[in-house]
Amino acid sequence: YFSHFCAFNFVTTGFNGYSSLSCSDLFITNSKFYLHRGEISDSRIIDVTVTNDFVISFSDSLQVVYLISRAGYNTARLNLTVGGNLIVSGHNKGLFVTSMSSGEEIISIGNNINILGGKTRFNGYEIASSRGHDITGTIGGSILIADGSISLSTQKGISNWSIQGDFDQTGGFS
């Protein structure tokens, strides 16, 4: 559980660091979480592997979760693998963004994506500095939306998703 976390924070463009995260379960509750805030120009891969469930719960509008948070000239690529479920809940203005960079994303979710609150954004965010890129995603289960919102591709680039189960929206936005 994290209350405020930043693994890497460096704003000058170049070959600035590497971040990776591997764990059994990842629970981020009532927090600000930035995995990689560095700007890199060599397209290195930021690996995030969660063996079981990745659960994010927001209690207010100021809470954010960024796996790659720098836009600019950042070319970092993201490999996100979640063996179980990706679950986002709580305050509808809490924000989860996979990557703001121009590097491609490869996303693999073993079971379901459950959106019960918050704003979930793959491929950037709805701001001018966010960089678009290609994204390839696979979901072994379903996308279930009851509240909050999800965008499977927020910026420019080619988006290719394979959903093995259903797309079930009973509330919220997609």
Q: Is residue 1 pLDDT above 70, yes or no?
A: no
- Residue 17 pLDDT grade (very low, low, confident, very high; cuts 50, 70, 90): low
Q: Higher model confidence: residue 72 or residue 141?
A: 141
Q: Is residue 68 pLDDT above 70, yes or no?
A: yes
- Residue 19 pLDDT grade (very low, low, confident, very high; cuts 50, 70, 90): confident
Q: How many CA within 13 A on the CB side of residue 106? A: 7
Do residues 70 and 11 make contact, with C-beta atoms less than 8 angstroms apart? yes
DSSP string, 9-42: ---SSBB----EEEES-EEEEEEEEEEE---BSS
User: In angstroms, what is the C-alpha Rg of the chain?
Assistant: 15
pLDDT tens-place string over residues 103-115? 999 999 999 999 9
